[in-house]
Chain A
Amino acid sequence: MDRLFDSQEKCPSTNQECPVFDEVRRLREECKRLQELTQVDTLTGLFNFRYLMMALEGEMERTRRTGLSTGLIMSDVDHFKRINDTHGHESGNKALQWIGKVWHEKLRRIDMACRYGGEEFVVILPGTRLPQAIRAAERLRFALENSPVRLNGKPVRLTASFGVDAYRGRKKLNVETFIKQTDHFLLEAKAKGRNRVCYDENKITLAIEGLTSDEREALFATRRPEK
């Protein structure tokens, strides 16, 4: 497959003025462009929905075989319609491009950032457990909040809401259900006021905070120094 794009290729009959060579080269470039089109979102340069589904399926299978978790972040830009209404239709696109760029820099090479819908983004984090995925989402949230986009010469603050989950390979989960599960936390983030990261708090370990405030209080209340 790679050989198809080898621009060093010369005419097999070493004809310096081969009439077909140019045509072949053009066709190869067109094939490459088409292949990217099937995987990449043209506006943001991130992967597209089609690629996301394929890649996520692959990572979930890998998780089942290796035991290494797959993290998933689903996010939605806050008040996106307002941007188009206030700053014009082209502004919406500019904002999305900007977001793609800001986030691409904050992710690892192995992470796969995809444009999921109009103003929705999904990131697949291979080999990543929930606490790490949450930290990654928090980095994205913080970066966006602190990187206003320039629209018509003016800086405009952007925020997004995030839902995070991780698949450990234990349950028989499919791609659609995993996405739905994670989406639930995105909805929760919106409901709780936007510009935040939500996840299943019950799954979180000592590393972040494992106890409810009731439990903490109970542990310390009974330790009053007496007698």
Chain B
Amino acid sequence: MLSSKPPPVTLCITSGKGGVGKTSLTVNLAFALVKKGDRVLVVDGDLGLANVDVLLGLSVKRTIRDVLDSGADPLESVIYLEPNLGVLPASSGVPEMVTLGPEDQNRLGNVLTTLSRHFHYALIDTAAGIGPSVLWFNRFVNRNIIVLSPDPASLTDSYALIKILSRDHNRKNFHLIVNLANSDREGLQAYETLEKVAKKYLNLDLQFLGTVPDDRSVHKAVRGRYPFIQKTPQSKASQALFDLADRIRMLKEMTS
């Protein structure tokens, strides 16, 4: 009996260096995808969502460890911000489990795979840099999203990240998002720079997902700790995110 449901797309969202707005991007992208009609799971791989107020006031659910030990349904550790938007916060124990030994990582992998099947997309927000947990999440997913800002330091760190992931961890499909850009042109230039160097030195084809402009409403939202895409859906940044969501949905159609 063939299942008509396509497999979930699991995306890892990483940046070489911190401060590029990765976590905010992840949360808002999740909301954008939900608005388009998909069921999305956001996994906080880094305690990045610990400060997102939307999560406060919601009851602490079971941790992954509880789930594994008691044989309970892993869905019990998911918090729902909306009927189609689930979050596995850091308190679920996911970030900790990744830093433990290979056995725990295997068990975690199985749980995440099981959970993802209840959604169309699983977005995993990792820590910045190249630590062991970042590497593990990047190996786990189907597709790797790299977020960068258009400055030289971010470009260098993103390139180094891509180099390590492709050379040492067998990742070949990278999708770039340039955040905090002054213009679409600036975003495109940053992507093209990386694309040329990666093609020449790593023999890799990097894909461009798009640019998200630097927008005052975003900073305000981050300070106020709410998702900007809900509060100011008409802003340039929000529009860019809806476009990103569209492109990600097109990726899904390409996934076998």
A residues whose Cβ falls under 8 Å from a Cβ of B: 65-68, 202-203, 205-207, 210-212, 214-216, 218-220, 222-223
18 cross-chain CB contacts under 8 A: A203-B168, A205-B160, A205-B164, A206-B16, A206-B160, A206-B164, A210-B163, A211-B159, A211-B160, A212-B201, A214-B201, A215-B159, A215-B197, A219-B155, A219-B194, A222-B193, A223-B155, A223-B189
Give the contact-size bracket for chain B.
20 to 34
Nearest neighbor of A211 in chain B, beta-carbon distance? B160
Q: Given contacts A67-B101, A218-B197, A219-B197, are A207 and B130 in contact (CB under 8 A)?
A: yes
B residues whose Cβ falls under 8 Å from a Cβ of A: 16, 101-102, 105, 129-130, 152, 155-157, 159-161, 163-164, 167-168, 189, 192-194, 196-197, 200-201
Inter-chain contact B129/A206, CB cutoff 8 Å: yes
Residue picked from B102, B161, B197, most chain A C-beta under 10 Å: B197
Closest Cβ of chain A: how far from B143's Cβ, in Å? 21
Specify which chain A residues have a CB less than 8 angstroms from the CB of B201 in the assembled complex: 212, 214-215, 218
Number of A-B residue pairs having CB atoms within 8 Å of each other in the complex: 54
Q: Given contacts A67-B101, A206-B129, are A211 and B156 in contact (CB under 8 A)?
A: yes
A220 to B155, CA, bound (A): 9
Main secondary structure of the interface of B (DSSP, over half): helix
Inter-chain contact A65/B197, CB cutoff 8 Å: no
Nearest neighbor of A226 in chain B, beta-carbon distance? B189
Inter-chain contact A205/B130, CB cutoff 8 Å: yes
Specify which chain B residues have a CB less than 8 angstroms from the CB of A202 in the assembled complex: 167
Inter-chain contact B193/A211, CB cutoff 8 Å: no
Closest Cβ of chain B: how far from A214's Cβ, in Å? 7
Inter-chain contact A206/B197, CB cutoff 8 Å: no
A220 to B154, CA, bound (A): 12
Inter-chain contact A218/B200, CB cutoff 8 Å: yes
A210 to B158, CA, bound (A): 11
Specify which chain B residues have a CB less than 8 angstroms from the CB of A220 in the assembled complex: 152
Q: Which 9 A-B pairs have the closest CB atoms?
A: A210-B160, A67-B101, A218-B197, A222-B193, A67-B102, A205-B130, A206-B160, A206-B130, A66-B101
Residue picked from A67, A206, A212, A220, most chain B C-beta under 10 Å: A206
Specify which chain A residues have a CB less than 8 angstroms from the CB of B101 in the assembled complex: 65-68
A206 to B189, CA, bound (A): 23
